[in-house]
Structure 1
């Protein structure tokens, strides 16, 4: 997360805490249904506890990842589970900080930032064709 903080450049105001939960598809499905109204599992969910682009301090939020989905996607994308896991933690953390991908412009900004962070960690661009 330090690499993400370096690239995203949020206002760090003190000690911060972030929870990461590795769960299964069934639990992720329930969380996605409960909090987003989507009747399916998903690879990563973020639950921010701070204002978007606000100061980074205190409890930042939670990131949940569905293990079976991550394993399947890593195989489908011909990437290591470790690299895919790292990518989705970075993706989830950027959501915690306030980034999103609802519009093309937002997606371009967020994906560019993810790619920079991952490159600094020695991980290939997950969006490259």
Structure 2
């Protein structure tokens, strides 16, 4: 089950389509979807979570709390719509594309992909691009 929650003035255009895409992506990675809660919020909301739970005094576009057990995916993914909008402008990409990139980024973390090193980040970006190409 995938749930979308909105703590800011934003709504996905096609929750059903995005849900199917996420579920198909998880299946393709040979994991099983239990439950993911997406919470779309603003910079202040996510900043406060970042400070409180991760002790990071910075803005970020996504924070994911992973409750997965083995190959069973479950967790909460918080996304700052403000950061996604700014990143789309900075990287000169469409807002919806950047939002979908961030949406799948959280899922890929749940599937075991990391992005701390250069090699990990390259693999993560490659996976994001692969799944974005399957959305279109």
Classify the TM-score, shorter chain.
0.7 to 0.9
Aligned partners of 2:29, 2:50: CA distance in 1, in Å?
Answer: 26
Structure 2: which 5+ residue stretches go unaligned? 1-21
Deviations along 1:25-76, one digit per CA (max 9) or x if unpaired, are 011111111222110120011110014xx2225xx00100111111111122
Please state whether the residue corresponding to 1:101 is helix, strand or coil: coil
Structure-1 residue corresponding to 2:107: 93
Structure 1: which 5+ residue stretches go unaligned? 123-129
Task: Give TM-score, length-normalised by structure 1.
Answer: 0.79
Task: Give TM-score, length-normalised by structure 2.
Answer: 0.75
Structure-1 residue corresponding to 2:4: none
Q: Give the alignment's Cα RMSD to 1 decimal.
A: 1.7
Structure-2 residue corresponding to 1:126: none
Structure-1 residue corresponding to 2:88: 74
Aligned partners of 1:108, 1:71: CA distance in 2, in Å?
Answer: 22
The structure 1 segments of at least 4 consecutive aligned residues displaced by more than 3 Å after TM superposition are: none
Counterparts of 1:41-60 in structure 2, within 5 Å, are 41-51=59-69, 54-56=70-72, 60=74
